[in-house]
């Protein structure tokens, strides 16, 4: 294993070159009151053998879907990942490739992004996809800014209460700084009341933000909601679950203007919360308002097919006041994983995965609600995720399941504005194609 270090002689040479006598002198410009004034409180040094053993002990404290049965939801899911995804994404050509500023030296990487964009457009029914963003929350906030630019409305955004609370908080953080009003339409029944949404939007609204399926797992009336936005000249921003599009209508089919997603379910492990993949697509007319990168296909002077960066909308490349975003790169490896995953499954495989999720989720909901004190929180249809109301407390159910080797959640008490009374009684459960009848039955037995 290689280590970077410098000798005392090398340190003296560097200090002499920059014109100081000691390392301490470098810090003279920092006021004494801001300095620590004592050595760092670090444990004694370990040998390599001891350090490796210590790190293994720390790592063993982490749980994962490899050791436990995962029914966790809320934006990160334990979907099956074909072995070929790891094999291809781990190739050094992709794994070590840096941001492709120089198209002539980055053809493989650019082609992978172009294929990703093409597959995402096929998946969503939208006209254009960028080369990816950071994750789902960033994608929602960037879509909101994009809608504000496209409509030239900067004072109001309407968001459904059934959108992921963390996505909402990201939007609030950004919009608070530009004095834009964020109106949240309550969803106490698990889905939005279309009439209430019509009252909330007006001719000052830049966009309406919808999640389908929503944070509670329920299916919204997307066509009616999109129409409500369009009736006042606002754009419809839809945050979707990529796997659900194996069964549900695509955003492009019901009129979404901008469609975004957390792409983790497309071939990326849960990996303790990231890195993940932000998907952003739009209609052709809004392409010049899009953040991030757009990869295009062309021919070189010899007539050979090649790939270029068609659009880079950040301030590094254009005049700062005209920049559409400060998104400076994309999730290259995660986008590559999604490309390989979608290529392997194809339309039939994606539909099969979606059908398995749906059937198993409904079987699990039926079995879990047979346990005393547990009921479905909402009557709306759901896809792979549903919300339970646990009359004896969600924490108690999570703890009892956890002791038996099953991970459930998230509990809604952790989200301070989920919009539900007695939030400590509510619990989200996700069932992917990986879960078996035996696992579901064993969970029910543990809870009984």
Rg (CA), the chain: 25
Q: 424 φ, ψ to 5°?
A: -70, -5
The pLDDT score that the predictor gives to residue 255 is 97
Long-range contacts of 375-379 (CB under 8 A, 24+ apart): 377/190, 377/216, 377/420, 377/426, 378/189, 378/190, 378/191, 378/216, 378/218, 379/189, 379/190
> CB–CB of 334/275 below 8 Å?
yes
The pLDDT score that the predictor gives to residue 108 is 87
* Positions in the chain whose pLDDT score sits under 70: 1-4, 98-105, 313-323, 326, 328, 416-422
The pLDDT score that the predictor gives to residue 250 is 98
The pLDDT score that the predictor gives to residue 395 is 95
pLDDT digits (tens, 9 = 90+) for 163-194: 999 999 999 999 998 989 999 999 999 999 99
The pLDDT score that the predictor gives to residue 100 is 67
**Which residues, including other chains, have CB under 8 Å from residue 57's CB and lie 6 or more apart?**
none
Crossing angle of helices 437-447 and 332-368, in 10° steps, is 60
> CB–CB of 44/54 below 8 Å?
no
Task: Give the span between the Cα atoms of 176 and 164, in whole angstroms.
Answer: 18
Task: Give the span between the Cα atoms of 344 and 266, in whole angstroms.
Answer: 11
Domains in the chain with CATH codes: 69-81+346-447 (3.90.1150.10), 83-341 (3.40.640.10)
Q: What is the DSSP letter of 286?
A: G
The pLDDT score that the predictor gives to residue 204 is 97
**What is each CA distance from 63 to 58, 59, 270, 272, 405, in whole angstroms?**
11, 9, 12, 9, 10
């Amino acid at each position: 294993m290689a280590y970077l270090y410098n000798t005392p002689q090398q340190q003296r040479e560097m200090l002499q070159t920059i014109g100081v006598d000691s390392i301490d002198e470098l810090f003279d410009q920092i006021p004494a009151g801001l300095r620590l004034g004592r050595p760092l409180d670090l444990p004694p040094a370990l040998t390599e053998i001891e350090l490796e053993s210590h790190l293994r002990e720390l790592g063993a404290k982490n749980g994962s879907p490899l050791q436990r049965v995962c029914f966790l939801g809320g934006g990160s899911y334990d979907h099956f990942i074909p072995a070929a995804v790891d094999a291809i994404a781990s190739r050094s050509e992709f794994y070590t490739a840096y941001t492709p500023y120089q198209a002539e030296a980055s053809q493989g990487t650019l082609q992978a992004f172009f294929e990703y964009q093409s597959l995402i457009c096929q998946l969503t029914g939208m006209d254009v996809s960028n080369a990816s963003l950071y994750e789902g929350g960033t994608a929602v906030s960037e879509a909101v800014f994009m809608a504000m630019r496209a409509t030239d409305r900067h004072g109001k955004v309407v968001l459904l209460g059934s959108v992921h609370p963390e996505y909402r908080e990201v939007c609030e953080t950004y919009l608070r700084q530009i004095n834009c009003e964020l109106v949240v339409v309550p969803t106490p029944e698990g889905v939005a009341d279309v009439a209430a949404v019509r009252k909330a939007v007006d001719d000052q609204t830049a966009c309406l933000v919808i999640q389908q399926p929503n944070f509670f797992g329920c299916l919204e009336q997307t066509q009616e909601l999109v129409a409500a936005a369009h009736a006042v000249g606002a754009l419809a921003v839809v945050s979707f679950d990529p796997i659900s599009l194996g069964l549900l209508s695509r955003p492009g089919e019901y009129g979404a203007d901008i469609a975004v997603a957390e792409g983790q379910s497309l071939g990326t492990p849960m990996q303790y919360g990231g890195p993940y993949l932000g998907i952003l697509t739009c209609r052709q007319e809004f392409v010049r308002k899009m953040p991030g990168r757009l990869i295009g296909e062309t021919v070189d002077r010899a007539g050979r097919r090649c790939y270029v960066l068609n659009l880079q909308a950040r301030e590094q490349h254009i005049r700062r006041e005209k920049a559409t975003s400060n998104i400076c790169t994309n999730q290259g490896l995660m986008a590559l994983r999604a490309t390989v995953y979608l290529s392997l499954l194809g339309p039939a495989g994606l539909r099969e995965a979606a059908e398995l999720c749906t059937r198993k989720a409904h079987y699990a909901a039926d079995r879990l609600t047979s346990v005393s004190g547990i009921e479905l929180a909402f009557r709306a249809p759901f896809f792979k995720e549903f919300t339970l109301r646990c009359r004896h407390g969600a924490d108690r159910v999570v703890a009892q399941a956890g002791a038996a080797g099953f991970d459930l959640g998230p509990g809604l008490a952790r989200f301070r504005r989920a919009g539900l009374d007695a939030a400590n009684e509510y619990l989200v459960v996700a069932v992917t194609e990986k879960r078996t009848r035996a696992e579901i039955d064993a969970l029910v037995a543990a809870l009984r």
